[in-house]
């Protein structure tokens, strides 16, 4: 799910979301880089757009563009520049700009997508909203995957040495560092190239949340799944709006939009991903795919890698001017635990 191929951007026709087109005073464009039938398009972006129109009593309508106005990696900047009014993407597609969020993508961070998505929203509001990286974009919601897993085509990956020399598709700096720490060979590619890479033997396995194995039809090529408590990794996403366009809205419309955004939208994201991951696990088990638990040795090594990565991240954050970077992690973890126990 984290990295979807750019060729999917032009699939489908323009989606006009909402029914009160004639009464809308403001129409906001949304650039979306997954197909219109993907659950992010329908169950998250589409559902939220309907809520925005209802909350504003039809004054604000969101129109999904027929194709994305740029690559997924460009979507924060596209919103900041106003090329599209609203965009969404992965924060760490721009890893240096959003290094402050690397902690949320590290291993064993959390497998409850609802709790992690809401906790991330609260953490940004509490600790990171003044970061210059966020300037120019009104953040409307955030989300996490609910933990990614290790998937292989022909064997289980349960011991540390099982990963050595295995070629694994991945995306993002955290995943690369993680695989390299285990002696695996990271192959950077969007998730939509998984079938091609597995079919041709370029990779032996791939990193995905469970939902992506089904979404990208990889269930026959990835028949072994290693699930980590708290996830082997995660990926952080945003939904944001051009700040100038936001400021041009009336205070009433801003308040109405935020009533269905922020924590509400982040929770919606988490709920949809949680449901998709559960459905995918059931489908894969019904098919006969094999599920594995990491050995204690693999878990312990993963914990060690996590601690080293967090320490390096904290040093970089201190150089960026943060007095107590680990306070950000502590806040996130405390909120995650509280939300997970609800």
Residue 193 pLDDT level (bands cut at 50, 70, 90): confident
pLDDT at 11: 36
**What are the sequence ranges of the domains in the chain?**
149-232+278-340
Q: What percent of the chain has pLDDT over 70?
A: 93
In contact, 150 and 288? CB cutoff 8 Å: no
Q: For residues 202 and 204, give the distance between their C-alpha atoms in angstroms, rounded to a whole number.
A: 7
Q: Identify the CATH number of the domain defined by range 149-232+278-340.
A: 3.40.190.170
pLDDT at 197: 95
Res. 186: pLDDT tops 80: yes
pLDDT tens by residue, 48-105: 999 999 999 999 999 999 999 998 889 999 999 999 999 999 998 899 999 999 999 9
Q: For residues 67 and 36, give the distance between their C-alpha atoms in angstroms, rounded to a whole number.
A: 9
Q: Which residues contact 101 (CB under 8 A, 6 or more apart)?
A: 91, 92, 120, 124, 128, 236
In contact, 53 and 20? CB cutoff 8 Å: yes
For 292, the 3-state DSSP assignment is: strand
For the entire predicted model, the pTM comes to 0.90
Res. 14: pLDDT tops 70: no
In contact, 146 and 336? CB cutoff 8 Å: no
Bridge partner list, 27 = 61
Bridge partner list, 29 = 63
Average pLDDT of 216-239? 96
pLDDT at 23: 62
Q: At what angle do helices 47-55 and 263-287 cross, to 10 degrees?
A: 160
Residue with tokens 């285990």: 182
pLDDT tens by residue, 272-328: 999 999 999 999 999 999 999 999 999 999 999 999 999 999 999 999 999 999 999
């Amino acid at each position: 799910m984290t990295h979807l191929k750019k060729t999917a951007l032009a699939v489908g026709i323009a989606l006009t979301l909402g029914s009160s087109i004639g009464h809308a005073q403001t129409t906001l464009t949304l650039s979306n880089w997954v197909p219109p039938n993907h659950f992010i398009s329908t169950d998250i972006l589409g559902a939220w757009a309907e809520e925005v129109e209802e909350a504003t009593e039809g004054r604000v309508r969101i129109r999904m563009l027929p194709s994305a106005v740029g690559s997924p990696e460009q979507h924060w900047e596209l919103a900041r520049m106003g090329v599209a009014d609203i965009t969404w993407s992965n924060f760490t597609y721009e890893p240096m700009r959003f290094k402050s969020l690397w902690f949320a993508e590290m291993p064993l961070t959390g497998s409850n997508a609802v709790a992690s998505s809401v906790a991330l929203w609260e953490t940004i509001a509490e600790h990171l909203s003044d970061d210059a990286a966020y300037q120019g974009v009104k953040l409307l919601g955030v989300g996490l995957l609910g933990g990614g897993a290790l998937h292989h085509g022909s064997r289980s990956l349960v011991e540390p040495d099982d990963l050595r020399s295995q070629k694994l598709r991945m995306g993002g700096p955290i995943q690369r560092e993680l695989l390299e720490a285990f002696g695996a060979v990271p192959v950077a590619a969007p998730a939509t190239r998984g079938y091609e890479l597995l079919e041709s033997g370029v990779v032996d396995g791939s990193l995905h949340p469970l939902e992506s194995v089904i979404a990208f039809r990889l269930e026959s090529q990835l028949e072994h799944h290693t699930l980590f408590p708290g996830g082997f990794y995660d990926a952080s996403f945003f939904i944001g709006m051009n700040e100038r366009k936001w400021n041009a809205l009336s205070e009433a419309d801003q308040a109405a939009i935020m009533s269905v955004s922020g924590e509400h939208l982040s929770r919606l994201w988490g709920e949809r991903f949680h449901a998709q991951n559960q459905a995918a696990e059931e489908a894969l088990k019904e098919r006969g795919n094999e599920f594995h638990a990491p050995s204690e040795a693999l878990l312990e090594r993963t914990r060690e890698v996590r601690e080293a990565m967090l320490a390096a991240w904290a040093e970089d954050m201190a150089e960026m001017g943060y007095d107590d970077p680990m306070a950000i992690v502590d806040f996130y973890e405390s909120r995650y635990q509280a939300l997970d126990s609800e």
